[in-house]
Structure 1
Amino acid sequence: MAKLLKQFAALPVMETGGTSHVLLITSRGTQRWIIPKGHPEKEMRPAAVALLEAREEAGVAGKISKTPIGRYRTTKCLRSGKMVPAEVTVFRLDVSEHLAAWKESLERKVMWVPLSQAHALVDDGGLSKFLEGLDAAAKPKALAVTS
């Protein structure tokens, strides 16, 4: 049985007119809609990894939650083409800055969407269920506006 790959993700969130919007990005290879995520880095906390990935992949920064808002399972395609199971731990990122250019800006598209619609746009069953669960909880605490 394949070892479970661990990844850390940011769910970039912005409140607009009382509606929670999340930022989706395209994957580099297949151009599917996903959220920024990456592999564990030595001497970096999981939330810090998620924040770094959000900046590099989506060009956003802000305040990241110290504790995860949830997890989902997916299948990751490695560069070798091998498919491996992965568990993605997700941290909320309250976005305060969106850069005009960033490290992967020429490789990815970005799109802000209402949280209630995000699950229908992603092409990953685990991520879709995760996002739908957040919406179904009718503004869960993890997505409440914090001061």
Structure 2
Amino acid sequence: MLFVGSRRNGRWGIPKGHGEDGEASSAAALREDSEEAGVAGIVDKTVFDTFSYRKDASPHQYHVAVHLLQVSRIAEKFPEKHVRKTRWFPVEAALREAAQPGLRMLLSRVENLHL
């Protein structure tokens, strides 16, 4: 499981962001993976799962649609390389390190897939 560190506090999570006008969530996921973590590959067009979270003390609730990505390339240079840390975790460790409770619940589903 590839995690990226939050730019605000360094806590571990998955690449996420906002879709652009008319952009499918799978295309947004592929773009965010490339920008935040430098990875590319084959993205599953079907939403694997969703979760919600709040940023620190923000009153806003953010909703995330998660797509699985089969990584085929890892770039040496990518847009957020110098503002984010990246790290591969075994799924069991990712369950402990994930910043959001909803993400931890989602990862327990991934663990059961035995990918």
Q: Please give the TM-score of this superposition, normalised by the length of structure 2.
A: 0.92
- Unaligned runs of 5+ residues in structure 2 are none
- Unaligned runs of 5+ residues in structure 1 are 1-21
1:35 aligned partner = 14
What amino acid sits opposite 1:103 in the alignment?
P
What amino acid sits opposite 2:65 in the alignment?
T
Instruction: Let me know the Cα RMSD of the aligned residues.
Output: 1.4
Matched, 1:130 2:106: yes
2:33 aligned partner = 54
What amino acid sits opposite 1:53 in the alignment?
E
Measured against aligned partners, the alpha-carbon deviations of 1:47-95 in whole angstroms (never above 9, x if no partner) come to 0001000000000000000101111121135xxx733112211000100
Provide the C-alpha distance between the structure 2 equivalents of 1:46 and 1:124, rounded to a whole number of angstroms: 20
4+ runs of 1 displaced by more than 2 Å? none
* 1:1-147 alignment, distance < 5 Å: 22-76=1-55, 82-135=58-111, 137-139=112-114, 143=115
Provide the C-alpha distance between the structure 2 equivalents of 1:134 and 1:51, rounded to a whole number of angstroms: 18
More helix by share: 2
Q: How many residues align?
A: 115
